[in-house]
Amino acid sequence: MAAGSRSGETISPAWRMLPSGKAAKGSPVRETGDDLPLVKRSLKGDEQAFEELVTRYEAALYRLAWRMLGNEEEARDIVQETFLRVFRALETFDQSRRFSTWILRITTNLCIDRYRRRKMRLLSIDVDDEEEDRRPIVLVDPGRGPEADHGRTSLAETVGALIERLPPIYRAILHMRYQQGLAYEEIAETLEIPLGTVKARLHRAHRQLKELLEAAGIGLEALED
């Protein structure tokens, strides 16, 4: 079956094939129109309203953090820290903007900070695109990824392991676009980068993922069956 499309764009079949499990559960982040009343009630000390915001966003934030960090425990830590920061900084939230955009940005920035603390090479959001394009792709045997610890060998899990080889900001953009269903404009607003940069990085992410798949001997036709 061919991959779907949105606004004339072919959706990457590889990204559609991510393994199911904790990181794949829940609904995409979409503004419901009810966030602002909950925010206002939370600012007045309504604990139930804040708990409802937590319930509404915790699954989506976990999926994003898990996709960027590749570690369940760290992803849970990031989600907890996100809500702590939201609680402490709620008064600074610009109520003319989308709450979902604000909270996704906090999670993304926390994930990037976590990578810096790991002292890993990080492709930051503000890196020059030409420099970004020159960075080598480190090819790792997908059988030696985290999925192998659980003896999983399906094609979907192999693709997931290959996606983990992409720079974290590419993984974040792919996740926001294809798993959370955000429009280009929403991604640009969330990451505070120009719309053209979002499109360019999504294109580079597709290209690098294709190279990884080809190096692993996986043809695109295998993903579309």
Q: What is the mean pLDDT of each run of 10 residues along the chain (225 residues)?
A: 40 44 46 82 95 94 89 93 96 94 94 73 48 41 41 65 83 86 90 92 90 80 53
Structural domain of residue 186, as residue ranges? 5-120+128-223
Q: Can you give the pLDDT at residue 35?
A: 94
Q: Can you give the pLDDT at residue 162?
A: 82
Contact status, residue 207 vs residue 220, Cβ threshold 8 Å? no
Q: Which residue in this structure is represented by tokens 């003896």?
A: 151
Contact status, residue 195 vs residue 188, Cβ threshold 8 Å? yes
Q: Which residue in this structure is represented by tokens 């059988």?
A: 143
How many C-beta neighbours within 10 Å does residue 108 have? 26
Q: Can you give the pLDDT at residue 220?
A: 60
Q: Can you give the pLDDT at residue 129?
A: 53
Q: How many structural domains does the chain have?
A: 1
Q: How far apart are CA 66 and CA 78, in angstroms?
A: 9
Q: How far apart are CA 157 and CA 160, in angstroms?
A: 5
Q: Can you give the pLDDT at residue 194?
A: 94
CATH classification of the domain holding 74 = 1.10.1740.10
For residue 108, how far is the Cα from the chain centroid?
8
pTM over 0.75: no
